[in-house]
Structures are given as structure tokens and as C-alpha cells.
């Protein structure tokens, strides 16, 4: 079934369509608002040195993300089945590309997202209740050197152990039912958006904050020429990571009520909410922390809260970040496992992943396999390495996915389209061109940073190598299906 439309039927013992518009929208918002908005503004300010550039990158990344959501929404309406973009790629480009995308989700994109997002949860927990850590000599003694990378499995061991424990707990919750996972997602999404908006309100009403700070330039010179292009590329990567996860809802389309309508709506509503929250929270940061102060504090939200309300503000923000990240991790765990389930149903993944629990109607084996590989990434990677690696691979597929709208309009002109991409063909063309440019700049910046010694890993290279490990597995699964 390389070029047909996947079946939308669901058997009584399979996955059940129980998710409504509120839950699906919370999956979109919850999939995006996580660790990035609390961690990345400081790095972005460090690259850009200018508040107007910082806000501009956030707005541009949000617009580009909305273009991606608008484009994907049309495909989601045509192919409203569990497995989401895995099924989209199979329909648009054939079995090989569909498999490669699903494999990328497993080895890089989604398991990497779960590991890195939950890692930030554990980091903030560590601020409130310090966790055990080995001395530096022990951490470095167990370092593993790889081509173009060095990893430290025992680094921040307490944080990594808590990360593993949190991912395990969330996996078990989702194994007990999609309703349970969905309810947890709604609660976490409302809580974290509420906490962020509370910080915005405090900034706009406090005498400790001033809107004039948004216009105060850095004491250091703003990058120019080639340096500015490099800075923009690195800052854009951080912003796009913060917006990433908007497409998670497509993976559970088969469990959404009236998916042809609710999935496109959730994509657009959820993306719009996230853009508004991100721009507001960055304005709030700058109102409290001028650009040079913001550059010097990695935990920018905690520092802003400390300035506004004192030590209690730090504890409040730490809890808010923990809620935000654990909620995003939960949504990613719930959604991603459905892709591996869908692949296994097509006999293009490990077959045990296609088993649905008779009582809970969840893909328990897919969830456990996801937990296993995520654990490997938790103990081998760092937040920055994982996020830079997965965002590069993600945007390669985002470009292909957006181009697929043109493929489907040509190949399936008469297919029902409950939603048609607004601004077609300009919106998908702009999105594809941006994605390609972003990939080129990412490779260039990775090489420059590695060569000048400022980065120990060429993340785009490692992301690509992990992706290519799927090629022999594709032929293995294809050959197995012939017997």
C-alpha cells in the first residue's frame, strides 16, 4: 500500500477514538510548550546581543511553524489515521520514505525529545532538592569518545536517574489508557500556560519591570555580516526547537473523534496559542531583564521571577517548569508510541510493537520499546546535543512533508479535503524554502563551531548517521514480510 490512503477503521480490540477537540488542542500546545522557552532565550540572547533581534527570531519562528501547521492540516484531513506523518509519507512517497521517517522518530526525534525535555524537568527539580552527583574526575573517567563526539554517561547521574524515573512513570500512566494519558495532558497544559501567563501579568504590573528595557541595546556590538548570519542560524535553531512538537497530534489521529475536522482545528488553534504565549513571555523576560542581564542567566524564567517577587518566585518558576516539561514529555510519550504501533501493524517495525492491550486498548509494547531507547539516550546525551541533533533531522522531514501537499493534490485530486491549506501554494512553498535554508545554515554552523573548538559534536552529522541506521532495517523488515 505504497500510494493508497491508509484505512481509518478501528477494531473493537484496537485503539479507540476517545479524544475530543480540547484534548487534541492541549496535545498541540503541550507538545510545543516545554523546556525550550525556559532554557533557550538566554542562549539566543547570547548569540544575537539585541532585544529586537531576539523577539524577531521568536516571531519569525512562530510564523514559519504556523505555515507548517497550516500545510500539515490539509494532509491530516485527508489521512486521519493513527501513525500520522508516518502514514502521510507512505502515501506521498512510498514505503521506504515512510519507514525512514518512522525510524527517525524512534532513534532521534521523539525519543530524543522525551529524553531532553524530561532532563530539564529533573534539572529544575535538582534546584529545589539537590540530587546526588559524582565528582568531576569520576564523570570524566567514564567518558566515551566517538568520531566527532564525546559523551559522559555518568555526568549529572542524579538528574539522569530522575529523568529515567519520570519517563518510566509517564509511560506506565499511558499504558493504562489513552483517556488517562489525555487527562494528564489537559491538566499539565492548563497549569503550565497559566503559570507562564501569571509571570507575564506580574511583569506588566510590577514596578520592578519596565517596557523600556525591551529597547535597551547590548553593551557589546551586534554581530554583522557572516557573524550575524551564523548567530541567526543558531538562534533560529533554538527557537524552532521550542516550537517543535506541533505535529504530535497527527500521530494519534485514529484516536480522535471526528479527526477530519478536529485535527486541523487543533493544529491551528494550538499553534496560535503557543505563538502568543511565547512572544508575551519573551517580552516579559526583557521587561525584567535587559538583554545583557538576560544573557548572563541560563534559568532566565527563575531569575525574572526572583526579581519580581523574591526567593518565592524562584520556587514558583521551578515548579512551573517542572509542570511544563513533564506535561510535554507526557504528550510526546502518548503520541509517539502510536507511530511504532502503526508501523508494526504494517509489519515494518518490530512486530511486538503492534500488540494492543486487551483491557486498556493501548500499544503497551510500543510504549515499552520507546522507554528502552529513550533510556539509552538519557544516559548518553546532553540536552543541547539531543535537541540540536533532533531538530536538524526533524526539519528535513518537515520540508518533505510540506512538499507532499503538492504531491497529494496531483495524485489524489478528488480526495475529500475538509480543510485546504490557506494561502496555497505560497504558504507551503515558503515553508519548504525556509526549511531547506535552515538545514543548509545548520550544517554550516555545526562545521564552523566544531572547527573553532566551540562545539565538541557535529550534531547534524550524528543525527544523519542515526537516521541512516534505518536503511538496513528497512530491507530486513521487507524481507521478513516475504516469508
Residues 112, 115: Cα–Cα separation, whole Å: 5
- Per the structure block, which three cell numbers stand in for 418? 475538509
Q: Is residue 11 part of a domain?
A: no
pLDDT < 50 stretches in the chain: 1-13
pLDDT digits (tens, 9 = 90+) for 201-255: 999 999 898 999 888 888 888 888 888 988 898 899 889 988 987 776 766 666 7
Tell me which residue range forms the domain holding 62.
Answer: 21-481
| 71: nearest Cα among 393, 433, 414 | 433
> DSSP code of 252?
B
Residue partners of 225: CB distance under 8 A and separation at least 6: none
The whole-angstrom distance between residue 219's C-alpha and the CA centroid of its chain comes to: 33
Give me the pLDDT at residue 83, please. Answer: 64
> What CATH code is carried by the domain that includes residue 77?
1.20.1740.10
Q: Is residue 264 part of a domain?
A: yes
Q: Is residue 16 part of a domain?
A: no
Give me the pLDDT at residue 6, please. Answer: 45
The residue with cell 520540508 is: 399
Residues 255, 82: Cα–Cα separation, whole Å: 7
Beta bridge pairs of residue 252: 82
Q: Is residue 161 part of a domain?
A: yes
Contact status, residue 238 vs residue 36, Cβ threshold 8 Å: yes
Residues 252, 24: Cα–Cα separation, whole Å: 9
pLDDT digits (tens, 9 = 90+) for 146-157: 766 677 788 889
| 186: nearest Cα among 35, 24, 338 | 24
- Number of CB atoms found within 10 A of residue 107's CB: 23
Q: Is residue 12 part of a domain?
A: no
Q: Is residue 4 part of a domain?
A: no
Q: Is residue 144 part of a domain?
A: yes
Q: What residue ranges in 40-196 does DSSP mark as E strands?
A: 144-146, 149-151
Q: Is residue 52 part of a domain?
A: yes
Give me the pLDDT at residue 359, please. Answer: 76
Domain count, the chain: 1
Is the torsion defined by CA of 426, 110, 349, 18 positive or negative?
Answer: negative
| 348: nearest Cα among 122, 169, 89 | 89
Contact status, residue 254 vs residue 17, Cβ threshold 8 Å: yes
Give me the pLDDT at residue 56, please. Answer: 94
Amino acid at each position: 500500500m505504497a500510494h493508497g490512503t491508509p484505512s481509518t477503521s478501528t477494531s473493537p480490540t484496537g485503539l479507540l477514538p476517545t479524544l475530543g477537540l480540547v484534548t487534541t488542542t492541549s496535545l498541540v500546545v503541550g507538545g510545543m510548550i516545554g523546556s525550550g522557552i525556559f532554557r533557550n532565550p538566554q542562549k539566543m540572547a547570547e548569540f544575537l546581543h539585541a532585544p529586537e533581534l531576539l523577539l524577531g527570531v521568536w516571531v519569525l519562528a512562530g510564523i514559519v511553524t504556523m505555515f507548517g501547521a497550516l500545510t500539515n492540516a490539509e494532509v491530516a484531513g485527508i489521512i486521519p489515521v493513527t501513525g500520522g506523518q508516518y502514514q502521510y509519507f507512505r502515501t506521498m512517497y512510498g514505503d521506504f520514505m515512510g519507514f525512514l521517517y518512522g525510524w527517525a522518530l524512534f532513534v532521534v526525534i521523539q525519543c530524543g525529545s522525551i529524553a531532553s525535555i524530561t532532563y530539564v524537568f529533573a534539572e529544575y527539580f535538582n534546584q529545589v532538592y539537590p540530587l546526588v552527583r559524582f565528582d568531576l574526575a569520576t564523570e570524566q573517567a567514564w567518558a566515551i569518545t566517538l568520531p566527532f563526539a564525546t559523551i559522559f554517561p555518568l555526568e549529572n547521574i542524579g538528574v539522569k536517574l530522575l529523568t529515567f524515573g519520570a519517563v518510566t512513570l509517564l509511560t506506565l500512566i499511558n499504558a493504562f489508557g489513552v483517556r488517562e494519558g489525555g487527562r494528564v495532558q489537559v491538566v499539565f497544559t492548563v497549569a503550565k500556560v497559566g503559570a507562564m501567563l501569571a509571570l507575564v501579568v506580574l511583569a506588566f504590573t510590577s514596578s520592578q519591570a519596565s517596557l523600556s528595557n525591551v529597547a535597551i541595546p547590548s553593551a557589546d556590538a551586534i554581530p554583522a555580516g557572516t557573524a550575524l548570519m551564523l548567530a541567526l542560524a543558531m538562534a533560529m535553531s533554538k527557537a524552532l526547537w521550542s516550537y517543535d512538537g506541533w505535529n504530535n497530534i497527527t500521530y494519534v489521529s485514529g484516536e480522535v473523534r471526528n479527526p477530519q475536522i478536529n485535527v486541523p482545528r487543533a493544529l491551528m488553534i494550538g499553534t496560535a496559542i503557543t505563538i502568543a504565549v511565547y512572544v508575551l513571555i519573551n517580552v516579559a523576560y526583557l521587561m525584567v531583564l535587559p538583554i545583557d542581564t538576560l544573557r548572563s542567566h541560563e534559568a532566565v524564567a527563575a531569575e525574572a521571577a526572583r526579581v519580581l517577587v523574591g526567593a518565592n518566585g524562584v520556587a514558583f518558576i521551578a515548579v512551573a517548569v517542572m509542570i511544563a516539561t513533564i506535561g510535554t514529555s507526557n504528550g510526546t510519550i502518548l503520541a509517539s508510541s502510536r507511530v511504532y504501533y502503526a508501523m508494526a501493524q504494517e509489519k515494518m517495525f518490530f512486530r511486538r510493537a503492534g500488540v494492543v492491550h486487551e483491557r486498556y486498548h493501548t500499544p503497551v509494547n510500543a510504549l515499552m520499546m520507546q522507554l528502552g531507547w529513550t533510556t539509552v539516550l538519557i544516559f548518553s546525551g546532553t540536552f543541547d546535543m539531543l535537541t540540536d541533533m533532533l531538530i536538524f533531522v526533524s526539519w528535513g522531514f518537515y520540508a518533505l512533508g510540506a512538499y507532499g501537499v503538492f504531491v497529494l493534490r496531483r495524485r489524489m485530486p478528488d480526495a475529500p479535503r475538509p480543510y485546504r491549506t490557506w494561502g496555497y501554494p505560497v504558504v507551503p512553498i515558503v515553508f519548504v524554502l525556509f526549511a531547506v535554508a535552515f538545514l543548509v545554515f545548520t550544517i554550516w554552523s555545526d562545521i564552523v563551531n566544531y572547527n573553532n573548538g566551540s562545539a565538541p559534536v557535529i550534531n547534524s552529522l550524528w543525527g544523519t548517521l542515526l537516521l541512516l541506521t534505518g536503511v538496513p532495517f528497512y530491507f530486513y523488515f521487507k524481507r521478513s514480510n516475504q516469508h
